[in-house]
Amino acid sequence: MLVRLRNIILHVLGASFFALSCASQSLMAQSYPNRPINLVAPYSAGGDSDFSGRNLAAVATKYVNQPLIVQNIVGASGTIGSLKVRNAPPDGYMLLISRVGSQAIVPALDSKTPYKWSDFTFISLLDLNPMVCVVKSDSPYKNIKDLIQAIRSDPGKLNYATAGPGTSQHLSVEIMLNAANLPSSAATMIPYKSGGESSAALLGNQVDFVCNTMTTLAGQIKGGSMRGLMVSTPDRLKDYPEIPSSRELGLSQFEQATGWSGLFGPPGMPQEVVDKWTETLKKVAQDPSWEAGNKSAGAIPAIRSPSETELFVRQQVQLYEKLGTSLGLRK
């Protein structure tokens, strides 16, 4: 009898605690946000995640009525910053500016990544960063056909710079070569420590070409130091009408090579907090300042629903798992 009574009391107490916990989370969500929100950019200042975070912060602050503070927490191909958010309290006050590298490529290629691609609360995509293949402005290769013909004619002679094996710069070239029915060995990869160093290598005549995000290379293209040969979009970009799209060049497979940023949270975020961000981002998407910020950096606004974002990331992971397997990069 005493045992039964004890079990009844424990059950009632447990149910009460659960109800109080749910009520507490609901109240927290209703008052969210009531203090500054940290946006973790897992790559260095000046990079794509840094741009996306600061562009979002500049516009969304007026809609959430709280400061949005971008923190660059870098290292290990973006996994250090990503892991910090994955392990943060799910209260919506620390969010991740996710990137294709840290959220799709690294988990797809390295089984020792300290998180799975799905270990986050998906809030939205933010922007797409088309990949663009470039040469130095005085290069003899005037268009992508010239470059591919040179690669085909003398396999292994031409080289390209990347921020390392398995990065988006490397894999985008692999996709380009595959689209042109060329093996990986047709062009030689020269790894550097960062995308900035790879750009400097091209300008210093150390390599023949580079493929990187338009966000990263927009300044050099606009400034005339680099010539764009192909962009990974179905149509030409309005601000770069001189650069042909991969589709019109018959290399539509290159459209898969797209950089992107998103807004993710720790696992288990209350639905009310996610909903508040969904409503906020609908306003951001209509804000002229958001459009202008993306335009200035050659990025394409891409705000989507949480479910659409999760599906997009899943497809990206599957793409890089398949590509990594074919190239022997998975470990």
pLDDT digits (tens, 9 = 90+) for 30-82: 689 999 999 999 998 888 899 999 999 999 999 999 999 999 999 888 999 99
Place of tokens 């500049």: 58
- Contact partners, residue 312, CB within 8 Å, separation at least 6: 125, 260, 304
What is the domain partition of the chain in residue ranges?
35-129+260-327, 130-256
Domain 130-256: CATH superfamily, name plus number? Periplasmic binding protein-like II (3.40.190.10)
Cα separation, 263 vs 95, whole angstroms? 7
The reported pLDDT for the residue numbered 298 is 83
Please report, for the chain, how many H helices and E strands are present, in that order: 12, 10
Is the peptide bond prior to 301 cis by the omega test (within 30 degrees of 0)? no
- Partners of 263 in beta bridges: 97, 124
Tokens of 186: 């047709």
DSSP summary character for residue 160: E
Tokens of 275: 């909903």
* In the predicted structure, residue 98 carries a pLDDT above the cut 60: yes
101-to-1, 170, 324 alpha-carbon distances in Å: 60, 11, 13
The reported pLDDT for the residue numbered 4 is 54
Cα separation, 273 vs 153, whole angstroms? 56
The reported pLDDT for the residue numbered 130 is 93
Considering the entire predicted model, what is its pTM?
0.84
Tell me which residue of 43, 27, 63 sits closest to 303, measured CA to CA. 63
Q: Where are the beta strands (DSSP E) in the chain?
A: 37-41, 68-72, 94-99, 121-136, 159-162, 188-191, 209-213, 226-231, 258-265, 300-301
The reported pLDDT for the residue numbered 310 is 98
The reported pLDDT for the residue numbered 30 is 67
**Other CB atoms within 10 A of residue 203 CB:** 14
Cα separation, 189 vs 187, whole angstroms? 7
Confirm if 141 and 147 have CB atoms less than 8 A apart.
yes
Task: Say which CATH class 35-129+260-327 falls into.
Answer: alpha beta
Q: 6-15, 66-75, 94-103, 244-253 — which is least confidently predicted?
A: 6-15
Per CATH, 35-129+260-327 and 130-256 having the same topology is answered: yes
